[in-house]
Structure 1
Amino acid sequence: MELKKQTESLKNHLNQLKERFEHNEAPADSRDKAFFLKVKEETLPVYTLLEEWEASALKVVKNREAKVHPHQITSTKENMELLLMHSYYIDARRKRYMELYTSILYVFDLLLDDIP
């Protein structure tokens, strides 16, 4: 999958995660195995896409085809992984969640502006 499609797909996931965070309640027991397995199943495709996106984005950035620093790509991947968990377990303050969300969205938009 090309970088533009990967980025757009991750951006869609990001918006869905924000909706989940805003409209769902935290699980009653964060150690519930059934809930953990559900989260693992639902997030695995996003984690896989994130790995592919990071590799593709780093190639583009290292070839200077986008005005994004390689460190921003790595940080964005890490932030998206954090956001994934916070979206299901609802264990971050809203302000912190929105800082992560905004940061990720900023890098996605920068990439989308620079790649054809």
Structure 2
Amino acid sequence: MELRDKIDQLTKELEKLKEHYLNNEKPENKKDREFFIFVKEQTTPVYQLIQDWEVEATAFVKQRKVRVHPQQVVSTSENLELLLMHSYYIDVKKKRYMELYKSIHYVFDLLLNDLESD
């Protein structure tokens, strides 16, 4: 899968996560084993996609003159992971959640623009 495809897939996942965050309540008990298993099942494929994206994005950024710095790729990967967990545990204010969300989209847009001009 190419970098562009991974960005598209992660963008779709972000939309699903945002919907989940906005339309669900906090879990009653964050230490509930069943809830943990549910979250793990839901997030494992997304975590793998994030890791794959980070490797490919880092390689792309290092080999070309682009507007994204390698540290931004690392930070975006970390933000994706944070957003993933916050979407299920709903343990952060909406303002902070949307800051992470917009930051991720900003880097994705820069990468997509650089891919287009490549």
| Fold shared by both chains (TM-score > 0.5) | yes
Cα distance in 1 for residues equivalent to 2:101 and 2:41: 22
1:13 match: 13
Cα distance in 2 for residues equivalent to 1:40 and 1:3: 25
Q: Tell me the number of residue pairs that the alignment of Structure 1 and Structure 2 aligns.
A: 116
**Runs of 4+, deviation exceeding 2 Å:** none
Q: Quote how far apart the aligned CAs of 1:25 are.
A: 0.6
SS for the counterpart of 1:26 is coil
Cα distance in 2 for residues equivalent to 1:13 and 1:22: 14
Is the aligned partner of 1:24 residue 2:24?
yes
- Runs of 5+ consecutive residues of structure 2 not aligned to the other structure: none
Question: Is 1:4–1:112's contact at 8 Å kept on the other side of the alignment?
Answer: yes
Q: Quote how far apart the aligned CAs of 1:66 are.
A: 3.0
Deviations 1:15-72 (A, max 9, x none): 1111110001111100000000000001000000011100000010001253210010
SS for the counterpart of 1:30 is coil
CA RMSD in angstroms, aligned pairs only = 0.8
Cα distance in 2 for residues equivalent to 1:30 and 1:65: 44
- Runs of 5+ consecutive residues of structure 1 not aligned to the other structure: none
> For residue 16 of structure 1, what is the amino acid of its counterpart?
K
1:93 match: 93
Cα distance in 1 for residues equivalent to 2:29 and 2:79: 24
2:71 match: 71
TM-score (norm 2): 0.95
Higher relative contact order (CA 8 A, sep 6+): 1
1:59 match: 59
